[in-house]
Structures are given as C-alpha cells and as structure tokens.
Structure 1
C-alpha cells in the first residue's frame, strides 16, 4: 500500500478573544495587524472584549471591528463571519465552514450577519469594519454563537507549500478570531446530548470507530468527558476503548468522537458500543449496535497508514514457531548423538 499522497494540514494560529478572554486586543503575531471588537451599549458585560450581546426579536444593529496595521506594507485583509462549531478533537471552533450545519441549528449566525468584507490597510493605518446584524422576528431561547475570522488574503493565497519529502502538502493560515455571542435572555438551559451514527472510519488516516455526539441544545457543554468501549455482539470482552476529558461543545453542534484501533485492521462483523459522557453534574449513557461490512473493512484498511496487517503478524508467529521447533529438534538430535557416542 502506498503512503498517502496528500495531507492538507491547516496550521491556524488563532489569537481569539474567547468567552473568558481578558485581552483588550487580538494580535496576529508577525502578521502586522491587530483586531479589536468595538463594544456596543447592549453588551451584557462591558468588561469582556468579545461580543456578548443582549438582543430582542427582530432587532437590527450595526457592530464594528477595529483593525490596526503595524506593518510597513499595505495589507489586504478578509473579514469573514463563521458559525461556532465543535471540531473532531472536542474543541470549540470559530474559523471553519462546516460541510453541513447541525440539524438542530435553527439560526446560523452567518444568516443573521452581513457577508464577508475585504479591507485594505495602508502602513500603520487603522480602520473600522461594520457588519449589520438582524435578529429573527421569532424569539428564541439560548445562545447563537460564532466568530469573525480576520486573515491576510496574500498569506492565504501564497502560504500553501508542498514538501517534496513524502509528497506532503501543508497549508498555513494565520488569522485572528473575534468571538460573538447573541442571546435574548439570561435563562439557563439544561444541556442534552444525543448519540447518532456509529461507524468504521479513519481518524488522522488511521483505523478507528467514530461515534457522532450531538449537542441538541442552544448552549455550551463545558468540561465534557467521554468514555467509550467496543465489544463484539454478545461478548463481555472489551476490544477497544477510549477516554478523553476537558472537551467542550458549541451550541447546536456535533462531532465524531474517535475510538482508535491502535493501527489494527478493521474486521467485518457486528459490534456493541457503550458510551458514558459527563459534563459537570450531568451524565449521559448510550449503547448502540453497529456493523462493519466486508467491503467497508477492506476499503478503509487499504486507505489506512501504519497498519499492522493480521497476515503479517500470523506469518511472523508461524516463522517464530518453526524456528523454535527446529531449534528444539536439533537439540534433541545433538543430545541423542552425544549419548550414543558416550
């Protein structure tokens, strides 16, 4: 099997004003600019430097970002709003466009905010960028979250390099993200998780079982810990297990929790998955049956890297056994010859 030809690895240096940020301004280190949220009067906590806005149904409001150049060159920046999601590592993500919005996300923030903008900054120049925010006419409970991603267009276009060694493609995107959170009241929402599809997959090009965990409520799930165990149908023996703590999920989002097979081949068959998730005082327990087909196992095993093939392990075991038997036979023959001569 050939080594994978192309890995697109996005190295994103994000200096993000998060919900617990104490910084006044977000900097793109070495990129020559900084970004600051211009805090409006309806900010829930004026000491915070991300947008945390108290809104009303149907409200229209302009919000501003202040971008300051520290560069000696002209900068061409893009300012792009994104929805808040949860990435495959169980981390909050504000700079990636999902292939598909979560099924429970009624109001993606990108539908409420005017579209992306281009900004040209002369050396040492400061500009304000204005976005128009229009709330849904119908009242909602919980939080609508996202972020403004600010990056240099020249960097995005040209910082895609290919390493000749191993034919690996690396893309570097340096950016700043300013968070935004919208709510119409301060009522607390009890979190609720759901287990969706369980299937054989590849995680970082290695064999795994992924379990899709969904936050179906419009609030964050914090301090999330997940333990997962996989068994053959009807068996009590645990074949694979995984545990991860200190994760978080964005409102109305989902991610694929991976259970690594430790570079072992996927085997066709029927399995049981058991998952227990904790977040502060809340706990969820799920069980789900799933099946891996012969075709699915063969395809994923072919695409996986650093796979320990079962046939190779058996061959090594057979050779080792044969060498051992031959060694014992030679010792017996030597002993018998030695006794006869004596």
Structure 2
C-alpha cells in the first residue's frame, strides 16, 4: 500500500513539473513583440501592417514599436526586405537579397529605418522610419516587409538557439487606381531535389509587372511519350509584384527514364497563361529519384535469376540431348553380351 501511495505522489509531482516547464517555454517564446505605427496615409481599416497610398514628392513618417519582455537589455536587428513568393508558395519577407535592377521603384531603398536598436529590460521603444516618394505618379503596387530579429552574441555557446523573428508587411499602392496589365513569363525548367524524399520539375517563372496576382490558380500535368498522364497538380498562390519565383511540380516516386511533356496553366481573373515543355529523365536521374524516395533497386537480383535460369535451361537441354545416345550405348552393350552367350552355348 505504501508503494502505491509513493507512486501516486511521484505521478502528481511529475504532472506539476511538466506544467511549469511548459509555462517557462511559452514565456521564452514571447521575449519581445513588434507592432506597427501607421502614417497619416494609411489605408482605412488596416491596422496590423503598413498599407500606404503613393504620394508624389512626399516624405512619409511612420514607426514601429518594439517591446522587450525580458529582464535584460536586448539589441534587435531591423531590415527592409522585398516581399517574394517562395518555393512553398508562401509570401516571404525574410529574404534579404537585392531587388532586381529591372524594378524602377524599390521599397528597400525608399524606406529608411535604423539597422539595429537596443532596448532596456522590460522597456518599449518607438523606432521611427521614413518613406520617400519620387515626384512621378505610380499606377502599380509594391510590397516589402520590415523584418525584426534578436541580435545574437557571436560568442554564445548555447547548444540550441531558437530565433524568433517578426515580419510587418509593407504595401504601397499607386496614386492611380489603374494597374498595369499582368505579365507572367517562363524562364526555364529543371529537375531538382524538392525534399529529402521528393523530386520535382521546377518552373522558373517571373511576374514582370508591379501588380499582385492574388490567388492565382495553377493546373499542371505531366504525360509520358505515349500520352498517358503520369501526374497532375493544382495549387493557389499569391504572386508578389515584380518577383521571380519557382513553382515545383512533384514527380512520381517510381517515374522511369524516358521522354515526357508537361503542361502548366496559370489563371488570375481574366488573365491566363499556358506553358508547354518537353523534358527527358535520364537513367541516372531516374536512379537518383528512386533512391531519394526510398525505392530499392532489385534489378541486379532479377539479372542474377535470369542468368541462373539460362544456365539451368542450357544444362537441361544438353542432358535431354545426350539421353537417347546413352540409351543406345546401353542397348548395344546388352546386345553384344547376349550374342556372346549364344556363341558360347
């Protein structure tokens, strides 16, 4: 009875300990917070991010609030990144690579913010920024994101480091309500590794204009050389303005080497595009796809079985071919012995 009571007490204590650990983990995840302080030209009804109308030859003032929830002073990195549709079909604000030279207006250059800020323990600080417009009017739409992250000490020896980052979308709408006609183009296709277990045919596409292709419908199918459909795929994506992006079409795990054709249709409202390409999967590529998906190659076993079968059939054929000859030799030998007996008698 004492053992049972002891076990029950330990069980209760374990439950209590687990609850405390969970609460500590949750408080660590909320070590700081970020919110937007919109400008006077903020679109009405939008509060959680920046949505500003283009005002020629004007400098817009805005800000962000960063609250340090920890009991230590903390430094935060601040970056302005172009909004991009990533390979997973999600709008990504964390990519810090430079904008294309083909873009006439770049929010990453028009927006000015401090690169980093240090905030005391338990303090909240307003970080002021500006958005400078050129004198020309603009009829498109630009998208960026303010990316805020904790600055980690280079000398930190922590074995596990979870970095929490905040992204505040930053949208600028042209002072003209018309938008440029959408233009989607295909740059190239290639066979690629999609994940540790999946392969894909990647379409490298480009949204050429400063317009958001929201909820664009993607329909893809791949056929073999006989015209048989081996896979289909459908998706809905938000394609950010003036963005090059990758649309991966997943390949079947057991796809074989050979000639194939792919058809991709993209629809956005009244606009639609269709892309047709032929491609080849080599024996080596098919082998890599199978290995990646975990399919075992048993062709060597089949080859060995065929060789053994051929040898067996060959030996059986020789045996059957020589069998009548052996019978004749036995019969002749018996006949000779019989004749000798007759002569002796």
TM-score, normalised to structure 2's length?
0.69
Residue of structure 1 equivalent to 2:75? 76
Number of residues of Structure 1 aligned to a counterpart in Structure 2: 286
Identify the residue that residue 200 of structure 2 maps to in structure 1: 208
* Secondary structure at the counterpart of residue 254 of structure 1: strand
Q: 1:217 aligns with which of 190, 204, 209?
A: 209
The question of 1:150 aligning with 2:148 is answered yes
Distance 1:323 1:224, change over 3 A: farther
Compare the two structures and name the one with the higher helix fraction: 2
Pairing 1:121–2:113 present: no
Equivalent residue in structure 2 for 1:306, among 261, 270, 292: 292
Residues 243 and 299 of structure 1: CA distance in aligned 2, closer, same or farther (over 3 Å): closer
2:233 is the counterpart of 1:243:
yes
Q: Following TM superposition, by how much is the alpha carbon of 1:31 offset from its aligned partner in structure 2, in angstroms?
A: 3.8
Q: Which residue of 2 aligns with 1:93?
A: 92
Structure 1 Cα separation of the partners of residues 116 and 268 of structure 2: 40
Segments of structure 1 that go 5 or more residues without pairing to the other structure are 1-26, 163-170, 327-342
The residue that corresponds to 2:188 in the other structure is 197
Query: Structure 1 length as normaliser, TM-score?
Result: 0.70
Whole-angstrom CA distance in 1 between matches of 2:107 and 2:27: 24
- The structure that has the greater radius of gyration is 2
Of 247, 256, 264, which aligns to 1:257?
Answer: 247
Q: Structure 1's 159 and 83: CA in aligned 2 closer, same or farther, altered over 3 A?
A: farther
Which has the larger strand fraction? 1
Q: 2:56, 2:135 within 8 Å by CA — same for their partners in 1?
A: yes
SS in 1 for 2:51: strand
Greater RCO (Cα-Cα under 8 Å, separation 6 or more) = 1
Change (3 A) 1:77 1:28: farther
RMSD: 3.8
**How big is the shift at 1:97?**
2.1
Q: Check the 8 A contact 2:186/2:203 in 1, yes or no.
A: yes
Measure the CA separation in 1 of the matches of 2:229 and 2:280: 16
Flag the 1:288–1:280 CA change in 2: closer, same or farther, 3 A: same
